[in-house]
Amino acid sequence: MQLLRSLQLLRAVGIVCWFLTGAGCAELRTDGKSPLAPLGMQQDSIQIEKYSVRYPYADTELNEAMWSEIDEQFLPVEVRARLAANGFRAGVIGINLPAALAKVLRDNPAETVSEFEEEEIDLNELGTDPLTGVKPLNLLNDSKVRRGFLQTRAGHPSKIISAGEKARIPQLAVLLHGEDGRVTGRNYEKTLALFSLICHPERDGRVRMELEPELEYGEPQQRYTAGDGMFRFEFRPEAKVFNELKIMAQLQPGQTLIVAGRADKPGSLGHHFFTEQSSGQPTEQKLLLLRLMRSPGDDTFRSTEVPPAPAGLAQGN
């Protein structure tokens, strides 16, 4: 019996070798395209193109006119009000970019700062935060537009740094507006402002993005965190997560989630996330663009690919 099994195994190996050396060399294709996911991409991976755009503080076109061309109605009224009170604004952009935003992207060629990769690998390639090891996808440079790529897995959080990229903010005074109308204030030291991004792909190719603001502050300490049925030992600063300001948007490939601060809410959390001031330079505002490029879709072996980029976004290629 053992001999028979050995012969059957050898026969199977021989057939496989024939396919690999002969007919098997031809790539399996359907209608001219491989039905398999691109090499190096996990079956549940979502690929996102990220832009960070700086512009003059209180710019009328980008703070007012642009938003008339952006869909903000996907958020419930109470969520929009809560975000606005705390200095945030969010919307979804389709294939056509708002005219003011397209002009900024045309006039300021994007500098690409990374390639597709998982957040938790190759941290040293782009530099890391000295306290946490978090990779800043939007590395600071002189360009007004910074472009990066993010490959994340379904349900796995990725970190996007919004403020404190050069160095942690020594002192940060934040005013927080509650649902009851009360305003509370708190000071943070050695602060890093970031978003936690979690993506949930749908079977029809859409992706539900959850973007949650948080602050990391203080000195790193030894901490235990629970996850995946076990406790992990970590050495990191304290974190304050603002669950009540979570932004949830459902995007199709090609659509873009835009998040920005409000110029009329100085001192708010959104103000600190989306303003930047260099030594001797005027204060600038920033906005964040997250464009869904590819999602797993409803076929395990085929990714849903994004339509061609709008004219403004395509320039960074």
Residue 111: pLDDT band (50, 70, 90) is confident
Residue type, 198: I
Predicted local distance difference test score (pLDDT) of residue 144? 86
Residues 91 and 71 sit within 8 Å (Cβ to Cβ): yes
Residue 186: pLDDT band (50, 70, 90) is very high
Alpha carbon distance 252, 134 (integer Å): 28
Torsion angles phi and psi, residue 243, rounded to 5: -60, -35
Chain mean pLDDT for the chain:
75
Predicted local distance difference test score (pLDDT) of residue 237? 84
Alpha carbon distance 259, 279 (integer Å): 25
Long-range contacts of 69-76 (CB under 8 A, 24+ apart): 69/98, 69/99, 70/98, 70/258, 74/249, 74/250, 75/247, 75/248, 75/249
Alpha carbon distance 61, 98 (integer Å): 10
What DSSP letter does each residue of 90-120 carry, written as one string?
EEEE-SSPPHHHHHHHHHSPPEE---S--TT
Residue 29: pLDDT band (50, 70, 90) is very low
H/E run at residue 33: none
Res 291 pLDDT > 60: yes
Q: Map out the domains of the chain as residue ranges.
A: 45-214+241-314
What DSSP letter does each residue of 257-313 carry, written as one string?
EEEEE-TT-TTBHHHHHSEE--TTS--EEEEEEEEEEEEEEEETTEEEEPPPPPHHH
Q: Among the listed ranges 17-31, 146-160, 226-240, which one has the minimum average pLDDT value?
A: 17-31
Q: Which residue did the predictor score with more confidence, 264 or 128?
A: 264
pTM for the whole structure: 0.73
Residue 278: pLDDT band (50, 70, 90) is confident
Contacts of 313 (CB under 8 A, 6+ apart): 49, 51, 97, 105, 256, 289, 291
Q: Which residue did the predictor score with more confidence, 297 or 199?
A: 199
Q: Which residue did the predictor score with more confidence, 307 or 107?
A: 107
Predicted local distance difference test score (pLDDT) of residue 42? 60
Beta partners for residue 86, in sequence order: none
Residue type, 252: Q
- The stretch 29-35 carries a mean pLDDT of 36
- The stretch 111-122 carries a mean pLDDT of 46
pLDDT digits 0-9 by tens, 54-100: 999 999 999 999 999 999 999 999 999 999 999 999 999 998 899 99
